[in-house]
Amino acid sequence: MMKYTDNFNNILLPILENFLKKYGQQEIHKYFFEILDETKQIFQKEYNDTNGQKWRNESGTMLELLVIYFLHKEIKELGYDITTDDKIERCESGILEEVGHNIVLKYGKYYILPDSDIVIYNPKTAEVKAIIYCKSSVEDRFGPLYWKVKLSTNERTKNIKMYFVTLDKEYNQNKTGFKKPSLDIQGESEPTKPRILLEYEMDGVYVTFPPKIMPTRLRVLR
């Protein structure tokens, strides 16, 4: 059973419940940015985080747990289960150890477990079906891209689907001086390098935008 952090339960969850009452289950995914933005404000006040350093360390975990919160039930109904890479690293026996063996890669005499925020697997066979990367910033995109290419070229792991979820809060400056999200998924100009790499390499990319940037806050690139 998935366990959530105290910060998730005490800070984010009450905010999430308010958004669910207002927008409903079917629309809630469009408001991840706003939910995390409100969470950030409360978190920083409680932890006296004036420079934002504590939140930068916490934001990735919050996004990851938010995605898990909504996926867990559906994943279980499909007959699969969900875990995180830190749980796999800590386990010493049982099904999660087998899951780790099914995605570990060999580098000479070394065996490395790929970075994988969320892992979806078959609890009966330990077969890994998908890996989901949750990044609050597109800045951290090359890690997931590297593991996607590496796993897809390995015979044992080539069928694992890999997805990328981001808030895309980073911005680029285009030639006209107008700031745009670095994935620029509206297609009004030439796509940015992050968009090209993520769209062509990952099996799916899910992007949440703040309301002032884009009326439709969530788009799927592939």
User: What pLDDT digit, counting tens, does each position of 113-156 carry?
Assistant: 999 899 999 999 999 999 999 987 666 678 899 999 999 999 99
Residues 6-220, CATH architecture = 3-Layer(aba) Sandwich (3.40)
Q: Classify residue 136 as exposed, middle or buried by CB count within 10 Å of its CB (0-12, 13-18, 19+).
A: buried
The model's pTM is: 0.83
pLDDT per position as a tens digit, 65-99: 999 999 999 999 999 999 998 899 998 889 999 99
The kind and range of the H/E element at 124 are none
The kind and range of the H/E element at 125 are none
Answer yes or no: are the C-beta atoms of 198 and 221 closer than 8 Å: yes
The domains of the chain are located at 6-220
Task: From 66, 4, 3, select the one nearest 34 (Cα to Cα).
Answer: 66
Q: How far apart are CA 155 and CA 129, in angstroms?
A: 14
